[in-house]
Amino acid sequence: MASFKALLTTEQADGRFESNVVERSTDDLPTGEVLIRVAYSSLNYKDALSATGNRGVTRQFPHTPGIDAAGTVSESSVAEFAVGDEVIVTGYDLGMNTAGGFGQYIRVPAAWVIRRPAGLSLRDAMILGTAGLTAALCVDKLEQAGLEPGEAPVLVTGATGGVGSIAVALLASLGYKVAAVTGKSSQADFLRRLGAQEVVERSALQAGVEKPILKEQWAGAVDTVGGDILFNVVKSLRRGASVACCGLTAGTSFQANVLPFILRGVNLLGVDSVEIPLVVKASMWDKLSLQWKVPNLADLVQEVTLDELPGAIERILAGGQVGRTLVRLD
Ligand code: NDP
């Protein structure tokens, strides 16, 4: 048994949710084959939903959020992992209804655990985290649907956010021309430094919702926001192009009509990074450690401690996220 620090979200008598750093014991953790001393976690939009009581993400409180964790195996009851192995866990139930990476220890099923790829440090793995994995899955799906570098730009929405900023950096490093959509015009230089050739005001993607189809522009798109913006993206894809849909910050529902599909043969591709088979996650992590290594991770990260997390959670919920927030669990 070890005691450790964790962020604990509790429901107050008045129905509000509060998150505080508390001492916990490894005895409080769920059963599982692998106990991991967490070195780094990261903040994702979903963590902020969990930390503020969103029952669609977390049913029962008190709870420790954190859908990402990277660290060292401390105990293992399976042959695949030995004490001292460096490992990564993202998604499945971690941080949802299983105590997550905003604690210095997690205990999880071995079936959730990936060995750290040689080409990535634990820290770099968590700068990427679920956001990086999701961005990579989006690019992979777009390429499987025929996307390749060319003259026309690939659009990324929610571009300053976690998934968006890594998608911009990854696509640019793979030779794509990237058009980055943002509501933060003050961050245009940030997006250009990540490799965006063009920065598009979010309002431009919100106009023309009433039109059945729009001018053909994008060779492909990574959409992290949903809502009317996704509708407009579908209507402005070039012939045969695809949009990878992974997020909902602008809304969970969106309008649609069949014209872009039947006149231009466009594709709407869904991306889930949470419940996909472990081998698929592992192959994406291998790619992110080798041929898809994102070059400018240092430019898109800010680091926080557990004590600083509540402020970062407020910022991400308010749509103010820029790049990735790494959580240091020392
Ligand atoms: P972030 O908060 O880091 O990024 C979201 C970005 O969306 C913001 O930075 C902002 O970028 C933009 N945005 C915020 N509010 C609005 C709005 N009202 N309208 C339009 N754009 C808005 O979140 P993450 O990158 O962590 O996640 C992005 C989305 O992807 C979330 O919905 C998340 O739940 C989802 N997700 C899904 C996964 C999956 O497996 N399918 C995995 C990971 C995330 P800007 O100001 O530049 O426009």
Render 83-125 in DSSP notation, one character per residue: TT-EEEEESTTBTTTB--TTBSEEEE-GGGEEEPPTTS-HHHH
Q: Evaluate whether 308 touches 295 at the Cβ level (below 8 Å).
A: no
Amino acid at 284: M
CB atoms within 10 A of CB 142: 26
327 by DSSP, 3-state: which?
strand
pLDDT at 188 over 90: yes
224, 281, 313: residue to mutate for ligand 1 pocket, most atoms within 8 A of CB: 224
CA-based angle 287:289:290, to the nearest 5? 65
**CA 252 – ligand 1 centroid, Å:** 12
Residue 49 CB less than 6 A away from ligand 1: no
pLDDT in tens, 305-319: 999 999 999 999 999
How far apart (Å, rounded) are the C-alpha atoms in residues 8 and 310? 11
pLDDT at 28 over 90: yes
User: Which residue in 56, 59, 71, 64 sits closest to 29, CA to CA?
Assistant: 64
| Higher pLDDT among residues 278 and 1, named by residue | 278
CB atoms within 10 A of CB 59: 9
Amino acid at 229: I
pLDDT at 49 over 90: yes
Residue 50 CB less than 6 A away from ligand 1: no
- Chain centre to alpha carbon of residue 54: 18
Grade residue 330 by pLDDT with cuts at 50, 70 and 90: confident
Give all domains of the chain, ordered by start, each with its CATH number.
3-116+296-328 (3.90.180.10), 130-270 (3.40.50.720)
What's the pLDDT score for residue 68? 98
Residue 42 CB less than 6 A away from ligand 1: no
Burial of 100 (0-12, 13-18, 19+ CB in 10 A): buried
How far apart (Å, rounded) are the C-alpha atoms in residues 282 and 264? 35
pLDDT at 1 over 90: no
Grade residue 223 by pLDDT with cuts at 50, 70 and 90: very high
How far apart (Å, rounded) are the C-alpha atoms in residues 228 and 210? 10
What's the pLDDT score for residue 240? 98
What's the pLDDT score for residue 30? 97
Residue 5 CB less than 6 A away from ligand 1: no
pLDDT in tens, 274-290: 999 999 999 999 999 99
pLDDT in tens, 71-114: 999 999 999 999 999 999 999 999 999 999 999 999 999 999 99
What's the pLDDT score for residue 13? 95
Distant-in-sequence, close-in-space partners of 151: CB < 8 Å, separation ≥ 6: 177
**CA 201 – ligand 1 centroid, Å:** 16
pTM: 0.98
Residue 165 CB less than 6 A away from ligand 1: no
What's the pLDDT score for residue 130? 98
Share of residues in the chain with pLDDT > 70 (%): 100
Grade residue 207 by pLDDT with cuts at 50, 70 and 90: very high
User: Which residue in 299, 279, 249 sits closest to 127, CA to CA?
Assistant: 299
CB atoms within 10 A of CB 53: 19
Q: Distances from the Cα of 123 to the Cαs of 42, 88, 163, 241, in angstroms?
A: 10, 10, 17, 35
What's the pLDDT score for residue 242? 98
pLDDT at 252 over 90: yes
- The maximal CA–CA distance of the chain, rounded, in angstroms, is 63
What's the pLDDT score for residue 269? 98
Q: Whose CA is nearest to atom 20 of ligand 1?
A: 250
CA-based angle 42:94:15, to the nearest 5? 85
Grade residue 292 by pLDDT with cuts at 50, 70 and 90: very high
